[in-house]
Amino acid sequence: MRITDVKVIVTAPGRNYVTLKISTDEGVVGWGDATLNGRELSVASYLTEHVAPLLVGRDPQRIEDIWQYLYRGAYWRRGPVTMTAIAAVDVALWDIKGKIAGLPVYQLLGGASRDGVMVYGHANGETVDDLLADVGRFLDLGYRAVRVQAAVPGLEKTYGMGGNSHGRTYEPADGDLPAEHAWETGPYLDFLPGLMAAVRERYGYGFHLLHDVHHRLTPIEAARLGKSLEPYRMFWIEDATPAEDQQAFRLIRQHTTTPLAVGEVFNSIWDCQQLISERLIDYIRTSVSHAGGITHLRRIFDHAHLHGVRTGSHGAGDLSPVSFAAALHVDLAVPNFGIQEYMGHLDPWQEVFKVGYTFENGLFHPGDAPGIGVDVDEEAAARYPYQRRYLPVNRLRDGSMHDW
Ligand code: EZ4
Ligand code: CO
């Protein structure tokens, strides 16, 4: 079996997605997600200009060898662009392998370790009352875990709110130049404990409560936050400090028992090796699409398993339905699964992506179609051309740049 064609499809049904299609001489095709939010065309070009010529003529069944060829074989390796491109190839090859075998990918990974994949939904609100109503909506839908974000009084814009041009669903990439937001730590740290108290007071402790700090605090501020949230028994606080500083987590750890999660921006095991081996975190949030595909993600998760760290993969809307489905296969199979983020996708995504995954009682299942289980309608994709979109940036009140 040989790879005959490698095609990159850039489309924007609801938001921008970069999708990879690998075709073979036996008619089997595989799909991968190469979307890197706000930097989409760099991955598209990396694939078209530098990866596609390396793949045509190769045996698509040699997934590990192709992974090593694209990673070790590149002198300039790692980084989000490279690893997102490798991820797209890897997922497409797993899709092809599943289709050849006539099995869903989770079966190739060792089979199901659980009945379904627990996800957390995203509740948000401009006021505490709005937020409480939104949490109730998720609990009514059967969710067992909810991420809570509410507008911080005193800040004009807070991460995680809906209400931009995309409507109610949160979509941070908005505007053909980056929006500029203001950040102040004080009001945020003062607001959060009362917010979590209100959620627990209204709905009790019978579900998992999560929160995303989104890289804004210093280690000692994160320590204070973790400590102040201990009574509300968080499932985790996510990205408490900028993720590249692995040592920062040691300081946070010394001060609080609130579980820590990090990793959506990591793209290889080298970004989180110390965090995991020194048990500085509880959940590793690397994703299929940004951390080198199923092949590399499984390597990170096995390393985490050795050190008692569980998985909690990133699953925002900028990870396409192909990535979400691929994540579900991994989540269903690995022994140390923790939770999966699920943000959903913006209409009209279903015109382009035909998925087989299902949701029931707070759990997703990837379905039993051979491969990853997602088809892409290329004619529909062509109706939604790419539009440049940036994530926002943050500045402190004095104008200094801050992490967003
Ligand atoms: O800001 O995916 O946990 N989810 C997140 C997301 C990220 C976006 C960036 O592309 O932090 O909302
Ligand atoms: Co996050």
Residue type present at position 337: F
Phi-psi region of 367 (alpha: psi -120 to 50; beta: other; left: phi over 0): left
Ligand 1 within 6 A of CB of 265: no
Q: Which residues of the chain have pLDDT under 50?
A: 164-167
Q: How far is CA 263 from CA 9, 218, 269, 286, 300, in A?
A: 27, 17, 10, 5, 11
Contact 183, 155 (CB under 8 A): yes
Query: Which fold, 3-103?
Result: Enolase-like; domain 1 (3.30.390)
Ligand 1 within 6 A of CB of 316: yes
pLDDT, tens digit, 9 for 90 and up, residues 86-106: 999 999 999 999 999 999 999
Angstrom distance (rounded) from CA 275 to CA 245: 10
Q: Which helix (H) or strand (E) holds 210?
A: strand 208-212
Q: What is the pLDDT of residue 174?
A: 86
Angstrom distance (rounded) from CA 366 to CA 346: 19
pLDDT, tens digit, 9 for 90 and up, residues 170-199: 888 988 899 999 999 999 999 999 999 999
Contact 71, 77 (CB under 8 A): yes
What sign has the CA pseudo-torsion 227, 229, 232, 236?
negative
Single out the catalytic residue among 159, 170, 232, 357.
159
Q: What is the pLDDT of residue 80?
A: 98
Angstrom distance (rounded) from CA 248 to CA 219: 6
Ligand 1 within 6 A of CB of 214: yes
Residue type present at position 244: E
Q: What is the pLDDT of residue 320?
A: 98
Ligand 1 within 6 A of CB of 40: no
DSSP letters along 289-350, please?
A: TTTTHHHHHHHHHHHHHHTTPEEEE---TTS-HHHHHHHHHHHHH-TTEEEEE-----TTHH
Q: What is the pLDDT of residue 69?
A: 98
Q: What is the pLDDT of residue 295?
A: 98
Same topology, domains 3-103 and 108-369? Answer is no
Using CA atoms in the order 211, 214, 219, 223, what is the torsion angle rounded to 10 degrees? -10
Query: Three-state SS for 402?
Result: strand
Angstrom distance (rounded) from CA 34 to CA 47: 9
Q: How far is the CA of 9 from the centre of ligand 1 (A)?
A: 22
Q: What is the pLDDT of residue 186?
A: 97
Which residues partner with 97 through β-bridges?
none
Q: What is the pLDDT of residue 166?
A: 46
Angstrom distance (rounded) from CA 315 to CA 128: 25
Contact 168, 162 (CB under 8 A): yes
Mean pLDDT, the chain, integer: 97
- Closest protein CA for atom 11 of ligand 1: 214
Token output for 342: 């699920």
| Domain range summary for the chain, segments of one domain joined by + | 3-103, 108-369
- Comparing CA positions, the residue from 270, 266, 271, 286 lying closest to residue 334 is 286
Angstrom distance (rounded) from CA 378 to CA 15: 16
Query: Three-state SS for 199?
Result: helix
Contact 327, 354 (CB under 8 A): no
Residue with structure tokens 């995303």? 212
Q: What is the pLDDT of residue 168?
A: 56
Q: Is 181 a catalytic residue?
A: no
CATH number of 108-369: 3.20.20.120
Single out the catalytic residue among 208, 211, 214, 329.
214
Ligand 1 within 6 A of CB of 82: no
Which atom, in ligand 1's list, is nearest to the CA of 214?
11
DSSP H helices, 102-166, are: 105-108, 128-140
Angstrom distance (rounded) from CA 5 to CA 10: 16
